[in-house]
Amino acid sequence: MDIRQAKIEDADEAAELICMAWGECAYVLAGSDNQKAAQDVIKKFYKQPDNILSYQNIHVAEGRNGIAGLVLSFPSDHFPRLSKLLVEKLPKFYKSDAEDYQGKVVPMLKTKEAEPGEYYIDSLAVYPQYRACGIGSRLLKVATLKSHKLGISKTSLIVKPENKGALKLYKKHGYSVRGKLKQAGTNFLSMVNPINQTGKSSSIKGIIQ
């Protein structure tokens, strides 16, 4: 299994995995309960540079049978710049009405998910058939390595409290719960790794630099 920078051609799998990771938030973003509609909206932004969902912020795990998982991450201080394209262009793709957009999407995009000066892991997703194979750990280490290269000593993420598998993974890699937040009506735990206990090595086998 290799870990590499995502490409525009990975859009279909990436959109499916991001939709999987975002859950209800993906449907709120699209203004639709339809999975394909939500993935189509994600794909539009995935293919463009300089936004939260861009391929530029993603590494994928790829094996013989294709993409197995991905991690989407970026410095928290880039939130304002990366959110700008979403805010400007999303209304054109939004499937519901303006009232829903103002009442649901705008508050979601304004929710503070990370503190300044952190490296934020927005999404980590692995297809079910590839879980329990260490892929999630490797993807998490890739994001941590990226934070080290940028000189950022703290990584953070949010996770649903009922996602016991993810919680176990994050705690194993040094993350601890620092608080709670609500995003698109869904409860999340905010977790932080203040001393980056994983990924201290300057290189990780299988990563294309």
pLDDT at 113 over 80: yes
Convert the pLDDT of each residue in 121-149 to its tens digit: 999 999 999 998 999 999 999 999 999 99
Q: Which domains does the chain have, with CATH numbers?
A: 2-193 (3.40.630.30)
Query: Distances in Å between the alpha carbon of 16 and those of 37, 48, 149, 159?
Result: 11, 17, 29, 18
Q: Where does the pLDDT of residue 197 fall: very low under 50, low under 70, confident under 90, or very high at 90 and above?
A: low
Average pLDDT of the segment spanning 57-68: 96
What is the DSSP track for 22-51? HTHHHHHHHT-S-HHHHHHHHHHHHTSSSS
CA gap 10, 92 in Å, rounded: 23
Average pLDDT of the segment spanning 15-25: 96
CA gap 96, 178 in Å, rounded: 34
Average pLDDT of the segment spanning 29-38: 95
Nearest to 190 by CA among 167, 207, 206: 167
Q: Dihedral (C-alpha) 28, 32, 37, 42: value to the nearest 10 degrees?
A: -10
- Are the C-beta atoms of residues 147 and 175 closer than 8 Å to each other? no
65, two tokens: 């049978």
- The pTM (predicted TM-score) of the whole model is 0.90
Query: Distances in Å between the alpha carbon of 110 and those of 17, 101, 105, 205?
Result: 23, 13, 9, 37
CA gap 10, 58 in Å, rounded: 10
Q: Where does the pLDDT of residue 190 fall: very low under 50, low under 70, confident under 90, or very high at 90 and above?
A: very high
